Amino acid sequence: MRYRIFPLTLWLVTSAAFAVTEPAIIPLPKSIERREGVCELIPGAIDPGADARPETKAIARFLADRLSERTRQNFHLKSNLDSVKAVELRLAQTQASPESYTLTVKPGHLINIEASDEAGLFYGAQTLLQLLPPDAKGSANLQLPSVQIQDQPRFQWRGLELDVARHFFSTDEVKRLLDEMAMYKLNTFHWHLVDDQGWRIEIKKYPKLTQLGAWRQNVGFGLDPKKATAFGPDGRYGGFYTQADIREVVAYATSRHINIVPEIEMPGHSSAALMAYPQFSCTGGPFTNDLPGGIFDGVFCAGNDGSFKFMEDVLAEVIDLFPGKFIHIGGDEVLTNNWKNCAKCQARMKQEGMHHEMELESYFIRRIEKFIDAHDRRLIGWSEIREGGLAQDAAIMDWAGGAIEAASSGHDVVMSPLKDCYFDHYQSKDIANEPHSIGGYLPLEQVYAFEPIPAKLAPEFRKHILGAQANLWTEYIPSFSHVQYMLFPRICAMAEVVWSPREARDWNSFSHRLEIHYKLFDQLGINYRHPSAPPQQASSAK
Ligand SMILES: [Zn+2]
């Protein structure tokens, strides 16, 4: 007998001795069939198949490690001597999309994950891990519900942005975040590496960027230094990633099927860069990165060819470090006052026949875009970059409008509107009992109700909406524990928005499933906000 699980239903089936938790998978798979019986998970080998590629073996090893951690029993990559097989991973020649998979858990103990690509095997493994009870430690008999799951994502861009410029987060913290993203099948990490208050990526040709730009005298933003974590050995506040660190994080992300999109902000939000190299500004400086939140006049001079040479040198090193297609160049919130009063900028405008400084911004972006295109990468930038027109290949990250116009003119768009995707906003209206935030209000329900395809976008252009992402700006978030508190559980809602079929979205089902995930967060040591949290727990973010 087969029966379908309807999203509204959550069962607890108890057999004589063991409780089998019904599937509480987030994001909800495309199709899940609950079958009769239970499957006993017996510690043993994860079999990637004979002559498996190294990438497939890596997923088998990943699954073995996670199962061992979660159950405190011995799972391992299959060797020739193994007789007990716990899970089979199989690559199949199918037309299925690379991220899709089929997971079969049958009575007895055969568990099989099949996919056309390692990405699908990886997501099948993540789903299997969610079939374990939240606290599976030391259970002698692990029983899983018998299911057949067929799954594939709705969108190709399932993202999370982390601002490491306002406050710095270590390589280990970033890796932990990547693991947490992978649990929820997010595949794009947008790493906001530079801003007015910090430059966080080592650039060999311009060492002062990190020698000066990565450190502040103060924690800043009026925050209590005791709540902040990133202090250097000399007591200065901040930090940066060496190129070796970046390569390590990129490899880690790749092994979790996450692409990293680095963001190098220009021409505005550049006080930290210009503090180190003021010759590329209009005024010559001086600049400081000891700044509160806001928009400042740390803007590159668009009339100076040296500014472009500097940016291209920086981007050449960035492109060498990050293998993904997209390079984010920011482009938002540019103050053009300096350009009005700069002889070089005005000369450039005259030479190019421009009448307004906005055109100069467009010139800046187009010139950088040529460089990025020439290196076989694609430019993506915030809403503002489309104002002066763009090359066809450039993509927009819509935070402030413009998605419909951009998509209708053939540009790809990632949706990240301020109203629905800004996770630095408060999760509750009871702000006295929440950690201090930048403002705004974005409850879990609103994230869950977010629809990435704009209603007014004509059907023929919907393919240009690549997906969506949550943004975490960190002006008021000086520790990783606080990062987690702002992300969880809202990131689970975003994961379901970008992965699951639109018609399957059901708030009641989601909130029931989330109850199981809160227990999982407790097991994994993830700081989170429980919607019914008493005030003392809600304010526990350190
Ligand atoms: Zn200038």
Rounded to the nearest whole angstrom, what is the distance from the C-alpha of residue 122 to the centroid of ligand 1? 49
**CA pair distance 115, 99, nearest whole angstrom:** 8
Quick one: 239 and 338 in the same domain?
A: yes
Quick one: 166 and 72 in the same domain?
A: no
Q: Is 269 a catalytic residue?
A: yes
CATH number for the domain spanning 56: value is: 3.30.379.10
Rounded to the nearest whole angstrom, what is the distance from the C-alpha of residue 341 to the centroid of ligand 1? 8
**Final residue belonging to a domain, choices 116, 151, 186:** 151
The identity of residue 427, as a single letter, is Q
Rounded to the nearest whole angstrom, what is the distance from the C-alpha of residue 345 to the centroid of ligand 1? 4
Domain total of the chain: 2
**Final residue belonging to a domain, choices 105, 125, 151:** 151
Quick one: 172 and 52 in the same domain?
A: no
Report DSSP state, residue 207.
T
pTM, rounded to two decimals: 0.94
Quick one: 341 and 202 in the same domain?
A: yes
**CA pair distance 86, 91, nearest whole angstrom:** 17
Quick one: 110 and 251 in the same domain?
A: no
Q: Is 333 a catalytic residue?
A: yes
Instruction: Give the Å distances, CA to CA, from 501 to 100, 378, 379, 402, 442.
Output: 13, 28, 29, 25, 23
- For residue 513, pLDDT over 90 is answered with yes
Quick one: 43 and 98 in the same domain?
A: yes
pLDDT at residue number 352: 97
Which among 312, 313, 332, 333 is annotated as catalytic? 333
Q: Is 248 a catalytic residue?
A: no
Quick one: 293 and 342 in the same domain?
A: yes
The position carrying tokens 């932990």 is 176
pLDDT at residue number 508: 96
Give the domain range for residue 108: 2-151
Phi, psi of 33 (to 5 degrees): -110, 120
* pLDDT per residue as tens digits for the range 228-247: 999 999 999 999 999 999 99
Q: How confident is the model at residue 533 (pLDDT cuts 50, 70, 90)?
A: low
Quick one: 167 and 142 in the same domain?
A: no
**Final residue belonging to a domain, choices 130, 151, 172:** 151
Ion ligand 1 residues within 5 Å by Cβ? 282, 301, 303, 342, 344-345
CA dihedral 83, 87, 91, 95 (to 10 degrees): 150
**CA pair distance 218, 169, nearest whole angstrom:** 16
Report DSSP state, residue 28.
P
22 in Cβ contact with 520 (< 8 Å):
no
Determine the angle formed by the axes of helices 243-255 and 305-321, rounding to 10 degrees: 50
Quick one: 144 and 64 in the same domain?
A: yes
Quick one: 487 and 472 in the same domain?
A: yes
Which among 195, 202, 265, 369 is annotated as catalytic? 195
Quick one: 39 and 182 in the same domain?
A: no
* pLDDT per residue as tens digits for the range 386-435: 887 787 789 999 999 999 999 999 999 999 999 999 999 999 999 999 99
Rounded to the nearest whole angstrom, what is the distance from the C-alpha of residue 336 to the centroid of ligand 1? 9
Quick one: 104 and 137 in the same domain?
A: yes
Rounded to the nearest whole angstrom, what is the distance from the C-alpha of residue 3 to the centroid of ligand 1? 68
Average pLDDT estimate for 21-27: 88
pLDDT at residue number 271: 97
**CA pair distance 202, 211, nearest whole angstrom:** 9
Rounded to the nearest whole angstrom, what is the distance from the C-alpha of residue 38 to the centroid of ligand 1? 69
CATH number for the domain spanning 535: value is: 3.20.20.80
